[in-house]
Structure 1
Amino acid sequence: MSENSESGNLRKIQKKSDFEKGIIIGRFKCGMTIMEIAEAEGVPRSTVGYIIKKYVDTGTVANRKPPGRPKAAPTMGM
Structure 2
Amino acid sequence: MPLSNITGKSSRKRPELSDFTRGVICGLSQHAKWTNTDISKELDIPRTTIGSIVQKYVKQGQTSVKPRSGRPKVLNERDEHHSGILVQRESFEPLRTQQQNLASITGNCNEESA
Q: TM-score, normalised by structure 1?
A: 0.72
Tell me, which stretches of 5 or more residues in structure 2 are unaligned? 5-9, 75-107
Q: Are residues 1:42 and 2:44 paired?
A: yes
Which has the larger Rg? Answer: 2
The CA distance in 2 between the partners of 1:71 and 1:43, in whole Å, is 29
Q: What does residue 33 of structure 1 align with?
A: 35
Partner of 1:66: 68
Gaps of 5+ in 1: 1-5
Higher helix share: 2
Separation in 1, partners of 2:52, 2:33: 17
Number of residue pairs the alignment of both structures matches = 72
Cα deviation for residue 37 of structure 1 reads 0.8
- Using CA pairs under 8 Å that are at least 6 residues apart, name the structure with larger relative contact order, 1 or 2: 1
TM-score (norm 2): 0.52
Among the aligned pairs, what percent are the same residue?
32
RMSD: 2.4
The match for 1:3 is none
